[in-house]
Amino acid sequence: MIYDLIIIGAGPAGLTASIYASRYGLKHLIIGIAQGGTAAEAYRVENYPGCPSITGNELMEKFLSQAKEYQVEITNAEVMRIEKSKNIFKIKTNLNKDIETKTIILALGMHHRTLSVPGEKEFFGRGVTYCPTCDGPLFKNKVVAVVGGGDSALTSSLFLSKIAKKVYLIHCKKSFDGQIAWQKKVNQEKNIVKILNRQVREIRGQRFVDHLVLDKPYKNKKVLGVDGLFVEIGSLPAGQKIIFDPALKRDRSGYVVVDGFLKTSIPGLFAAGDITAPPDKLRQIITAAAEGAIAAKGVQNFLAKN
């Protein structure tokens, strides 16, 4: 069977694209490992219209539930490679199954940026983590550190402050980059300790993380004792290795270049959400959802003309 559309990614962009594709009558399939994407990891979402305050997981459950109302197929698989022959795309997954489709919407989102310091890889899963909502409960009444200065770092610190005994919030600049509303809430929590204008240079421990090495002293010491480290320093576009076609245009940062209807430089291939250029655009659940809707309309237009 050849699908009209395959949506790769099950986050806000992918699920919204599916809802619109269903309403356009397009035979399609969603392929995604994590239903809800990284948006489901958000501790609290307070800027999505109609949902004044909701967890990321709860909001993504609403997206998923609405998509499923249209009986859409969802395959829990990882895409390994995409190839195109004439006008048909062939998608190879880790399930050793080839899927054919007339069009694709790439909605893979982002993957977490790493610190790239000694000890980070060695202690991943043993104190180093990139998901506070996933792993935060493991650090009940312990001392943890969050690295970052944007919204994700601020909200992660707030979430962890309800679980951990103490939260060090470490940022390389003299001030935070996140929304003032989040900064005010961080300032109100007595167990969040802000360490500004410093960087983590090394992560050390025995079996598990037990301390960090800073580039500059904090209270006359470069060593900071912690039980865990949460890295929240931003993300990079995912899926850069699954398409080997040099015709796919990306910018210098790896974001996919698209037009007004989210078409890429390869006919029939669309992209939506956080993987699209420009790199400095607003990356929020609402903007990802909007791009998913626009991409689905772009697919409908493309199929009507071809």
| Residue of 166, 172, 170 whose CA lies nearest to 144 | 166
CB neighbour class for 237 (10 Å; exposed up to 12, middle 13-18, buried from 19): buried
Give yes or no for a cis peptide into 278 (omega within 30° of 0): yes
Q: E strands within the chain?
A: 2-8, 28-31, 73-75, 79-85, 88-93, 98-106, 110-112, 128-129, 143-147, 166-170, 192-195, 200-205, 209-218, 221-225, 228-231, 235-237, 269-271
Q: Is 172 marked active-site?
A: no
- Among the options 51, 131, 177, 210, which is catalytic? 131
- Among the options 4, 98, 134, 151, which is catalytic? 134
Chain centroid to CA 148: 15
* Cα–Cα distance measured from residue 54 to residue 62, given in angstroms and rounded to the nearest whole number: 11
- Helices 12-23 and 56-68: crossing angle in degrees, nearest 10, is 20
* Cα–Cα distance measured from residue 262 to residue 17, given in angstroms and rounded to the nearest whole number: 12
- Among the options 135, 172, 177, 210, which is catalytic? 135
End-to-end CA distance of the chain: 18
Q: Is 134 marked active-site?
A: yes
Q: Is 135 marked active-site?
A: yes
List Cβ neighbours of 141 (8 Å cut-off, separation of 6 or more). 163, 164, 165
Q: Which residues participate in catalysis according to the annotation?
A: 131, 134-135
